[in-house]
Amino acid sequence: MLARGQRNRYNKDMGYTLAIIIQTIGQVLTVAIIADALLSFFLSPYHPIREALGRILQPMYAPIRRVIPSAGGLDFSPIVLILLIQVIESLLVALVRQIG
């Protein structure tokens, strides 16, 4: 068994590690969304990289696209998704740090 002081340190270390993991996932998703948006200007939708990004991101874009349709050929779902990811990431990190 861990002593009381060791448990507190263990919880803080786990909270810190979990916060880092959450932030890393948020950053990776943000970079993937930006890459997908930029590549959509240069590559065919059937390019293997675009297809791979699409398989990952389309399930996240779909609910947003149902609520916010494209306006004048512009798709705002990547921007909305990035904002949602940032908000969720901030809330989760704050929660983990408060618990830990």
> What integer is the mean pLDDT of 41-61?
94
What pLDDT score was predicted for residue 6? 54
Q: Place 83 in a pLDDT band, splitting at 50, 70 and 90.
A: very high
- d(CA 96, CA 15) in angstroms, rounded, equals 6
Q: Place 41 in a pLDDT band, splitting at 50, 70 and 90.
A: very high
Q: What is the pLDDT of residues 58-72, one digit of tens each?
A: 999 999 999 998 888
Specify the higher pLDDT residue, 45 or 87: 87
> What integer is the mean pLDDT of 66-95?
93
Span between the terminal Cα atoms of the chain, in Å: 19
